[in-house]
Structure 1
Amino acid sequence: MCNCHGSHVIRSLLCLCKGVPLDSEFHSAKSSTVLSRRLNLYSDKEHKNETLIVHQGFPDLLEFVVSEMLKCNATDIAALQVDQYSSLVLQTALKLLAGQEQELLRIIPVILGCNVENADQSYFIETTEVQNIRDLVKESAFSHLMEVILEVAPDTLYDEIFMKIFKGSLYDISCHHYANFAVQALISYARNQDQVGAICEELGPRMRDLLKMGRAGVVASLIAASQRHHACEHKCSKELAAAVIIANEDPNCIVPRFLLLDNYLFSKDKANWSWTSGCRVHVMGSLILQSLFKYPSDCIQPYITSITSMDSSHVLEALKDSSGARVIEAFLGSKAPEKQKKKLISKLKGHFGELALHPSGSFTVEKCFNASDVPLREVIVSDMLGVQKELSKTRQGPLLLRNLDVDGFSRQPEQWRSRQKSKLTVYKDFLAEFVEEESVSWEKKNPPTTDLSKKATQQTNIKKMRQEIDTVLASFTSSDSSKKNKKQKKSGKEQGDNDVEQKPSADKKKRKHRQKR
């Protein structure tokens, strides 16, 4: 287990016993996948790709192999806890046993260095081992192992780990270079609102300090968990704003400072800080804002005001960075008032063609189009006309031109406007009639959970519904035009028939006239 080659062989053996592919995430998970899941950015497409086809495995053999691996003395367990390669084996074993509560309750205390017999006494973690575990979390290998433990632990064991090991020491553990990742996992896999509330009480007032020491991942995890469980959203929003502004400062600077977080944090004169052109958008600052714009609109009013107050040049510069574009797209998809969304979109007049030619800009242009009314949509499409030829040669261009119906606008502007009005009307009526009531009733019947695929599925269904509306309306338009064409052909044919009928009658008159002569 402690050998790089042997570790790989054992992990492969465990995957075979479970009946999953050897190249699955159980063998080696991608950090980007883990991060997207923790920050509520896990799309429906990614969820489908992750879903594995489990073949016929050997579950009894899997449990036997894991049990035999952990049949060692305290000294050997201590060595396994801090070894890089044995940590990977234990992580794989835990992931493969996810959902098997009894087995997890038996092996996790052993991995933590506790006595498994204590489970019969209604507790799993010995008080004498608490400080030792806190010290172990500061080791790189054990920190990664603790992340997986928190992910798969049954609720009772997770609660005990939270209360005995982390609560009261969250900030101190978050300050450590390795241990802070375990805190991120603790926050991301919180089971209920009470746990998120306790974490927020402890870490909320320390957000400024966490950002200064480069622990933005802890802050991002807290914002995402608060949004996921609908717990302490107002408090988190307020504390986050206070982390980047000083008392009596203009709140309009909040969003720019998060977009260029490192540039702001390392500036000597923070009070007079201003947007610095040419800087890359901070990735974690972008992720924090993306999670924040999923909050209810009454919780994020300062952020809405801040993003809509940005200069047009700054908005355009942010959009040319993929991380910045994600923030603008998150705002356009948020519950902010339509008036505020249109205000931001209006700042980009004359630049939509330039954005569409940018590799990641086409997605933002389409988001702007979907969030606009008909006059603003016309402005966007008018900008597209100037770059239509260049855009058609790019990878993303043909799809964007088709979705915005740029060709239809150039040929028949009036019909294009009529179609857009119909689409907006039908779409708004559908949302008012079905989606809002459905989402409210669902939330009443089902309290918030950590299942992120439900939200992704709902967004996908709305997108499909929008496409169906577009298709139906397009078919209506084409059928109307075909009817007009048929009428025109029919009228032309009748006119031709009349001409044919009139010609013989004229010939008859000529013949009669000749006969008379």
Structure 2
Amino acid sequence: MGEENQSYKRGRKKKVLDRKAKKESFSDGPKKGEKSWKHHNASEPQTSVVRKQVDPELVKYFSEIANLFESNEVELEERSVLCRNALEETRGKEFELATDYIISHTLQMLLEGCDVDHLCGFLRGCAEVFPAVAMDRSGSHVAETALKSLTMHLQDEQAYSVVEETLRMICKVIVENPVDVMCNCYGSHVLRSLLCVCKGVPLDSSVFHRAKPSTILAERLNFNAPRSDRNNTPNSHTAFPDLLMSLISGMLRCSKNDIKTLQTDQYSSLVLQACFHLITALKLLTGHDQELLKIIPILLGCSKENVGEGHLIEMTVVRDVLELMKETAYSHLMEVILEVAPESLYNEMFTKVYKNSLFELSTHHCGNFVIQALISHARNQDQMVLIWEELGAKFRELLEMGRSGVVAALIAACQRLHTHEHKILFLILLCCQALSAAVCSTNESPRCIVPRILFLESYFSCGDKLNWNWPNRVKMQVIGSLILQTVFRFQSELIQPYISSITSMEADHVFETAKDAGGGRVIEAFLGSNASGKQKHRLVVKLRGHFGELSMHSSGSFTVESCFTAGSLSLREAIASELLAVQTELSKTKQGPYLLRKLDIDGFAARPDQWKLRQSSKQSTYKEFYATFGSSETNSSKKDTFVADSSKHALNSKDIKTMRKEIDHSLGFATPSMSLSGSKRHPEKEDQRSEKYTKHETGDDVSKGKTMKLKKKKDQIFSEKVGASSKGAENATKPFLSADKTEKKRHRKDKPSKSSKKSKA
């Protein structure tokens, strides 16, 4: 029976492999007379492709192929022959086979395993009906598989020309009538894949997909790198820039008469955003702003050709655009337009479309997200002043209506444009005053400001706001914590009410704040601000007795580390003692090993006197470094810690990072180059154990060594700075805090949680 079974399998395989193609070659195209895809304008009656019944013999043939693939009986060479023969059988029947629910799965396997000639032959054979294939539930998977397989073959330079010609045929058919494909739930995905292939990036690249609302919010509040930097993804295969540009411009040109459909259709919005993400990447190339200047007015509904700067947008479309921004899909599209628009076009949109309508749009559940994007991409201080004039007096109303994102975006934009000029500094002060006035009346104590912002929703939903109290077991609102993090980036002189509020909080409330993921980041932001050491000490001491418990939480461990950095020597000793008490349990957590090494708890347990001496020497070294390189304006505020402020400094962040490494290295505290995941320390750093330093070495030789290094570094930097341009000097004024956080190499991203996601109707 076994021999008969093997004989049967060999016969079946031979039958499939030996099957001959009976049709003409692929180069002849589809069978003459075959009904093909009929293109039409959206205003014309639609002509559908008639799907013919698949021949039963062909169904049986593809069923046998599927069984062979599933049985893993086909060798690599036989598989190639099998794919070639099977694809030859699809000539003239590509549409019927690709849209068949069962056969389409087999067809996908064949397209993944065939050579480039037969792959391109299949696509050329179905090029005329490609839109119909793409818009079918089963056919869309076949189309995406074929496009993905094309990218695999582009590793071979000889395949470039045949792939380019194939893509050109498909693009030509798409641009003749793209609206149906763009508005179809299956076709839109295929079109995005086609854009990815032309761009030369992976088909699942985030460049062509809308970022999560939490990611967008983090970018707007300056907690993430700009999207333009993140999307600068290297190509995974050869790109087709000419095809890409002709595809995009052709799609929009042919869709001009149907722009109203595109503006409100949820699927077309996704595709258009993919186009704009793609254009954002192309902006890095020279001369592509001109393409944006042509495309964006079309999307706004303008009918006239580009007539020059200041006349790109027709006044007749302004009212329609304002109404469309209240639609879900178009508001998403408008956010992308504001992100990628060239400066001249952005300025014209700001003046003609948005001016005098900011508050009206800010109160709308969709329009407020567009205003957030507008504020986040403001180009200059004058625009910020105009935005403030319309929204500055409306902070309380916006917060009451749940539009806190607009307020947060305005405060963050001030921080982003902060250039120490009087106009922006005054605007920051006004924003901070307006925010505090929105949550605290003039006859109330400022101590309520921070708690109420942490619980914005709870406070504004309370009927009796004057008697509002700290809620128990209520999660702190993400947007409130993000606002406070931004506020504590400003100079301490501008935010005294906030500093007074957070330092006057009750001890149990400080502890609850530290346990909350968002609240803990607020405390870290305050400890990283340029508030005085005495003010930071007032807050940190309220956490005494809780550091061990906090360190057991992944988010709390960051707060413990910040408290240790900002604390005095006695506070550092108290923190080390509390961590030593929970060392066994803490070492079993994900973040524990890093924190124990960072604070040198083993060294504290073994030789506490030397540990204190090293901490004292490290702190005095930071003070000396800051006194040498810091600005005279802020030295007075740095009493116990080495932290940064927003004033001008003589060093840039790279210099500071290098100097901090040298200081830590000289004192036996080589900062581990690892994340909180508990990676192993490098062998060479294991030798830098704390017990290697005697009191004499720490207090004398090390002190001399680090003083010489500081002097040498200062002389070197001074010589490099001579002759630097004023612009370069301005770039060198980045806050020390940025460098300090970079040094920690923490793998935590400042992204809001899902609770801040965009809730559009």
- TM-score w.r.t. structure 2 length? 0.59
Q: Deviations over 1:408-459 (max 9, x none)?
A: 111111100111112112223233334659x9xxxxxxxxxxxxxxx9x966
For the pair 1:288 / 2:483, whether they are aligned, the reply is: yes
Distance in 2 of aligned mates of 1:81 and 1:61: 24
Cα distance change of structure 1 residues 272 and 380 upon mapping to structure 2, 3 Å threshold? same
For the pair 1:238 / 2:433, whether they are aligned, the reply is: yes
Distance in 2 of aligned mates of 1:208 and 1:136: 27
**Cross-structure match for 1:302:** 497
Offset at 1:49? 6.4
Distance in 1 of aligned mates of 2:582 and 2:275: 54
* Coordinate RMSD, CA, aligned: 2.6
Offset at 1:16? 1.9
The answer (yes or no) to whether the contact 1:106–1:116 under 8 Å persists in 2 is: no
For the pair 1:335 / 2:530, whether they are aligned, the reply is: yes
Shifted more, 250-259 versus 367-376: the winner is 367-376
**Cross-structure match for 2:606:** 411
Q: Deviations over 1:380-423 (max 9, x none)?
A: 11111211111111111111111111111111111001111121
Distance in 2 of aligned mates of 1:146 and 1:49: 20
Give secondary structure in 2 for the equivalent of 1:70: helix
Q: Deviations over 1:263-307 (max 9, x none)?
A: 111111101111112111011111111111111111100000000
For the pair 1:105 / 2:300, whether they are aligned, the reply is: no
The answer (yes or no) to whether the contact 1:150–1:185 under 8 Å persists in 2 is: yes
Q: Please list, as runs of the form range in 1=range in 2, the aligned pairs for 1:246-395 lying within 5 A after superposition.
A: 246-395=441-590
Distance in 2 of aligned mates of 1:173 and 1:315: 37
**Cross-structure match for 2:56:** none
Q: Please list, as runs of the form range in 1=range in 2, the aligned pairs for 1:496-507 lying within 5 A after superposition.
A: none
Q: Please list, as runs of the form range in 1=range in 2, the aligned pairs for 1:27-176 lying within 5 A after superposition.
A: 27-28=208-209, 29-42=211-224, 51-55=232-236, 56-72=238-254, 75-98=257-280, 99=283, 100-120=288-308, 122-176=310-364
**Cross-structure match for 1:9:** 190
Q: Deviations over 1:221-273 (max 9, x none)?
A: 00100111122100100111111112211111000001111111111110111
Q: Deviations over 1:74-106 (max 9, x none)?
A: 540110111111111111111211222111001
- TM-score w.r.t. structure 1 length? 0.85
The percentage of aligned residue pairs carrying the same residue is 54
- Gap regions ≥5 residues in structure 1: 440-454, 485-517
Aligned partner letter, 2:223? L
**Cross-structure match for 2:371:** 183
Offset at 1:11? 1.3
Distance in 2 of aligned mates of 1:462 and 1:469: 10
Task: Give the total of aligned pairs.
Answer: 468
Distance in 2 of aligned mates of 1:410 and 1:91: 57
- Gap regions ≥5 residues in structure 2: 1-181, 419-423, 635-648, 669-687, 698-761
Cα distance change of structure 1 residues 396 and 49 upon mapping to structure 2, 3 Å threshold? farther
Distance in 2 of aligned mates of 1:460 and 1:393: 34
Distance in 1 of aligned mates of 2:508 and 2:459: 19
More helix by share: 1
The answer (yes or no) to whether the contact 1:115–1:124 under 8 Å persists in 2 is: no
**Cross-structure match for 1:473:** 667
Aligned partner letter, 2:587? S
Cα distance change of structure 1 residues 414 and 144 upon mapping to structure 2, 3 Å threshold? same
Give secondary structure in 2 for the equivalent of 1:4: coil
Distance in 2 of aligned mates of 1:348 and 1:370: 14
Cα distance change of structure 1 residues 435 and 93 upon mapping to structure 2, 3 Å threshold? farther
Offset at 1:178? 0.6
Distance in 1 of aligned mates of 2:391 and 2:345: 22
Q: Deviations over 1:169-211 (max 9, x none)?
A: 1000011111111000000011111111111121111010001
The answer (yes or no) to whether the contact 1:286–1:323 under 8 Å persists in 2 is: yes
The answer (yes or no) to whether the contact 1:109–1:125 under 8 Å persists in 2 is: yes
Shifted more, 97-106 versus 206-215: the winner is 97-106
Q: Deviations over 1:102-132 (max 9, x none)?
A: 1100100001111351433741111111000
Give secondary structure in 1 for the equivalent of 2:272: helix
Cα distance change of structure 1 residues 315 and 464 upon mapping to structure 2, 3 Å threshold? farther
**Cross-structure match for 2:624:** 429
The answer (yes or no) to whether the contact 1:190–1:225 under 8 Å persists in 2 is: yes
Q: Deviations over 1:355-382 (max 9, x none)?
A: 1112311111001111112111111111
The answer (yes or no) to whether the contact 2:196–2:208 under 8 Å persists in 1 is: yes
Aligned partner letter, 1:251? P
**Cross-structure match for 2:20:** none
For the pair 1:24 / 2:24, whether they are aligned, the reply is: no
The higher relative CO (CA closer than 8 Å, separation ≥ 6) is in 1
Shifted more, 247-256 versus 472-481: the winner is 472-481
The answer (yes or no) to whether the contact 2:208–2:275 under 8 Å persists in 1 is: no
Cα distance change of structure 1 residues 73 and 17 upon mapping to structure 2, 3 Å threshold? closer
The answer (yes or no) to whether the contact 2:310–2:348 under 8 Å persists in 1 is: no
